[in-house]
Amino acid sequence: MKDKLNYDIYDVLWAPLRALSPKKIFTMTFFLIISLLVYDIFSYIAFVIDGEKLSIIWKVYDFFPFFHIVLKSPLAKIVFGVGLFVCTIIVMIGLFSVSAMEIEKIRGNPFLSIKQSIKFGFQRLNQMLLAELAIVMFLLFVVILFWLFGLLGRIPIVGEWLVALFFLFPGFIVAIFAVFIFVVFQISVILLPAVTAAERKGETFNSILETFSTIIRQPFRWVGYTAYSLVAAKLAGFVYAYTCYRAVQFSVLSASMLGGEKIERLTRSGFSHLPIDSSLVKYMFNIFPGFDFSFSLAQWSRGGTEQVAGYLMSIMLFLIFASVIGYMFSVIAIAQASGFVAIRKIKDNYKIGDEKPLFAEQNLDK
């Protein structure tokens, strides 16, 4: 049964509620954890290339080398940059998978499973990767053109005159266009997955075309939808995080009634292995930047032991925390999908909601 769509901001407003789905949160969290593991691997390789000792790196960063990273070797910087790109693509697959669930629901199929959405995401990986690489190649082409333009200045006598003559046109005009392309490239990280999820045939050119068309023809509407989704994701994420915090607290206190102090010590041991004093954790547990309204886990990081079970508990607690970020990303993904459906109707008078479910036409389990 299809949802009734307004094809406007009202569809986007419900993103936090529609994202509060176990399968959507699990799917996004799954890809975020994969992205973190890939990031850790590339980061540690970069540190080793830079001459750092693994024991020292582990003592400083553990599994979370996000802050104060300084690399000196060019090769280490390249490895780290490749790792960031791969992580970004993995996160985009997660955004795509959640967007695909929402797009299929809009088409009348609310039963897209976790397995199907993840498999669908990897199937469309080439489409998103090629779209991103196409934009990058175009930007590199523009850079090469400016290199050649700079060579004109080396021509004796007339070189500087040629550079000055063509600096405004076409030089400056091409530069403005290149800046716009670069902005779209950054925007595509969150918009392209939704556009690709709504594209039925998996054509790279159509994904690129619709991404640029959305930004060019409806820039203010898209910015408004996205701004709302970011604010809503942060506020809803705080509420979800606080609920998880109270749920963990309730579980520990209840289990301690019969399990004794061992349960609380085990929990404290789990928290002690996590960077609960990091900037990321403080940001997640504060309602919004600039407002002093938050809760803290500092009291749970003391009084633990070094028992092996504590490391297993830390993994469980980390998965709970990761689900908070997964929920926030799910809000953004669903807002982008709903926003694109609305914008497609507004700019092209085309209703994606009138399409037949894609999974009614193909069986991705085969």
End-to-end CA distance of the chain: 25
| Total count of domains within the chain | 1
Q: How far, in Å, CA of 265 to CA of 212, rounded?
A: 54
Angle of CA points 180, 178, 166, to nearest 5°: 130
Sequence-separated (6 or more) residues with CB below 8 Å from residue 148:
none
Give the pLDDT mean for 292-310.
78
Give the pLDDT mean for 262-270.
86
Cβ atoms of 218 and 343 within 8 Å: the answer is yes
Residue 328 in tokens: 């926030």
Query: SS3 for 350?
Result: coil
Cβ atoms of 108 and 17 within 8 Å: the answer is no
Is residue 16 situated within a structural domain?
yes
Instruction: Report pLDDT for 67.
Output: 61
Is residue 342 situated within a structural domain?
yes
> 3-17, 48-62, 341-355: which range is least confident on average?
48-62
Q: Which residues of 2-11 are buried (b: 16+ CB within 10 A; e: fewer)?
A: eeebebbeeb
Cβ atoms of 181 and 135 within 8 Å: the answer is yes
Cβ atoms of 342 and 7 within 8 Å: the answer is yes
Is residue 164 situated within a structural domain?
yes
> 2-11, 16-25, 41-50, 357-366: which range is least confident on average?
357-366
**What average pLDDT is seen over the chain?**
89
Q: Which residues of 42-71 are buried (b: 16+ CB within 10 A; e: fewer)?
A: bbbebbebbeeeeeebeeebebbbeeeeeb
Residue 106 in tokens: 């809009």
Q: Which amino acid is at 285?
A: F
Q: Is the pLDDT of residue 65 over 90?
A: no
Residue 51 in tokens: 């001459």
Q: How far, in Å, CA of 83 to CA of 87, rounded?
A: 6
Q: Is the pLDDT of residue 175 over 50?
A: yes
Give the pLDDT mean for 193-210.
93
Is residue 366 situated within a structural domain?
no
Q: How far, in Å, CA of 19 to CA of 25, rounded?
A: 7
Is residue 218 situated within a structural domain?
yes
Q: Tell me which residue has tokens 């790196």.
A: 57
Give the pLDDT mean for 207-221.
95
How far is the CA of 326 from the CAs of 39, 128, 164, 274, in angstroms? 17, 20, 51, 18
Q: How far, in Å, CA of 40 to CA of 90, rounded?
A: 14
Is residue 122 situated within a structural domain?
yes
Q: Tell me which residue has tokens 């082409």.
A: 141
Is residue 3 situated within a structural domain?
no
Is residue 102 situated within a structural domain?
yes
The parent domain of residue 81 ranges over: 9-360
Q: Tell me which residue has tokens 């280490």.
A: 76
How far is the CA of 183 from the CAs of 93, 136, 187, 241, in angstroms? 20, 12, 6, 32
pLDDT digits (tens, 9 = 90+) for 96-111: 999 999 999 999 999 9
pLDDT digits (tens, 9 = 90+) for 113-133: 999 999 999 999 999 999 999
pLDDT bin (cut points 50, 70, 90) of residue 159 is confident
Q: Tell me which residue has tokens 């199929």.
A: 109
Residue 246 in tokens: 């109270």
Cβ atoms of 90 and 129 within 8 Å: the answer is no
